Structure 1
Amino acid sequence: MSGQSGVAAPQSGWTEGQVREAVAIFDSREALQQAIDELSLGGFERHELSLLANDETIRERLGDVPRHVEQVAHDPNAPRQSFVSPEDTGSLQGVAAGFPAYVGAILATGAVLATGGTALAAAAAAAAAGAGGGAAGSFLSQWLSDKRNEPMLQQLDKGGILLWVNLRDADRERRALEILNRHAVKPAEVHDVPQTGSV
C-alpha cells in the first residue's frame, strides 16, 4: 500500500436531499480499469460509477469544454455517462453473427440517436454493398469500441480521466477512498451534490 499524504478523511456529514460522492482522476485507462475492478470486488455496483461524457456533450450542456478535467470534477451539472467495461463491449460485439443483431444492439444503447443515425446508415451501406453481415458487424464492433474510448482519450488530453463514485454511507466512503487513492494520480476528493429524481 503506497503511503499517500493529504488523503481526505471520510466525513460524517450526510445531508438529506444530497448525494455524497468521491471523485478521482486517473492518468491511464489501465489505472481506471484497475480501480473499477477493485470497486466492483468491494461491493460497488456499476450504476454507482460514472465518467465524464465526451466533449460534444459537455459543450452542449455547459456551453464550453474545460481545458482541464479538474474544472468540472465538482460541478453537479457536468454531463456524465456510465462506465462500459471491455467485457461489456465485447458482449455487445458478439451478440450475434449478423447485421440485424448489431442494429438491435446499437438501437438499445442509443448510439444511433447520439450520432444522428450515421452509424446505422454506414453499416447499412456496408451491407448493401455486398460486404454482408460480417463486414457490417466488424464495422459496428469497431465503432462501439471507438465510442467507448472517445471520452477517455479526450480527457487524457486535459489532465486525466474523471471517475465519480456514489457513496451511501461512511463505511463505503472509506472503502472507496482507499481503492481510488491506490490508483489515482492524486488523492480522491469527496463532495455533496443535490439529489435528482433518479438515482
Structure 2
Amino acid sequence: MADLESGEGKTPVIDIPEAVGVFDTFEDLQQAFYDLRMIGIHHSDISLLANEKVLKEKLGKAYWRASDLEDDPRAPRAHFVSEEATGELEGAIAGGFFFVGSYIAMAAMLTPASTLAASIAAIAIGGSPSAVIGILLARRVGKHHKDYYTNQIEHGGILLWVRLRDKEREEMAVKIMEGHSGRDVHVHSWSK
C-alpha cells in the first residue's frame, strides 16, 4: 500500500501496475474486456469510471473529461457489465414480474368458487399487467446501461483500468487494449 499525492492530499493506492486506456465505443470496450479475460485477467481486476452521480459526489465536478481522470487515483471506479449480463438482468426482471402475476392468477383459480370464466379472467388480469410492468422496468435497466456509456463517450471516452500482476500480462493487456482501438493506453505503477 502506498499513498499518491493528489489535489486534496494523499490517496491510498496499491503497488501493483495498472494499464489504462480510453475507448470511443462500447463494442470496442466489450471486445477488449473479453480478450483480457481470455488471457487470465480476473474480472475484479478490470474497472471502469463510475457514473456521473458518483463522480459528482466524490470529486464535486459538474464537468469532467476522461483525459483528466485516467491517472487520478481519486477517480471512482465501477465494474464492467457486459451487454449479455444486462440482457440477462432484463429477462430476469420481466420474467419475475410475469411469474408473480401468474402466481396470483393461479392462486385465484384454486379458490372453491372459481369457475372457468373467472379463472381465465384472473390470468388475464393478474399475468398481463405484471408482465407489462416487468418489461417496462427491464427496458429502464437497459436504458440506464446505454445512458451510462453514452455519457462517458460524451466526456471524452470510456475509461478502462486493468490491474496487472506480472510483466507478461502487462504487455499483453496493452496490446489488447490498443488492438481494440483503445486510445492513450499506458501503464502506471499503482492501482486502486
TM-score normalized by structure 2?
A: 0.72
Q: Deviations over 1:30-74 (max 9, x none)?
A: 111111121122212221111111111100000104432110001
Tell me how far apart the structure 2 counterparts of residues 89 and 185 of structure 1 sit (CA, whole Å). 23
| Corresponding position of 1:98 | 96
Q: Secondary structure at the match of 1:152?
A: helix
Identity rate, percent: 37
2: CA distance between counterparts of 1:187 and 1:193? 17
Within 2, Cα distance between the matches of 1:98 and 1:46? 27
Q: Secondary structure at the match of 2:64?
A: coil
The question of whether the paired residues in 2 share the 8 Å contact of 1:23 and 1:162 is answered with yes
For residue 101 of structure 1, report the CA deviation from its aligned partner.
7.7
CA RMSD of superposed structures (Å): 2.6
Name which of 50, 67, 70 aligns with 2:67. Answer: 70
- Which of 140, 143, 148 aligns to 1:146? It is 143
8 Å contact from structure 2 (residues 97, 130) kept in 1: yes
2:6 maps to which residue? Answer: none
Asked whether the equivalents of residues 58 and 79 of structure 1 are also in contact (C-alpha less than 8 Å), the reply is yes
Partner SS for 1:97:
helix
Structure-2 residue corresponding to 1:162: 159
CA distance in 2, matches of 1:56, 1:132: 32
Give yes or no for contact 2:98–2:128 (8 Å, CA) kept in 1: no
Q: Distance in 1 between matches of 2:91 and 2:136?
A: 13
The 5 A counterparts of 1:1-199 are 17-95=14-92, 97-99=95-97, 132-193=129-190
Count of aligned pairs = 155
The C-alpha deviation readout for 1:72-128, integer Å capped at 9, x for no partner, is 0011111111111011112212226232889xxxxxxxxxxxxxxxxxxxxxxxxxx
Q: Deviations over 1:1-38 (max 9, x none)?
A: xxxxxxxxxxxxxxx94132110001111111111121
Q: CA deviation at 1:184?
A: 3.0
Matched-pair contact (CA < 8 Å) for 1:21–1:164: yes
CA contact (8 A) 1:22 1:189 kept: yes
Q: Gaps (5+ residues) in structure 1?
A: 1-15, 103-129
Segments of structure 2 that go 5 or more residues without pairing to the other structure are 1-12, 101-126
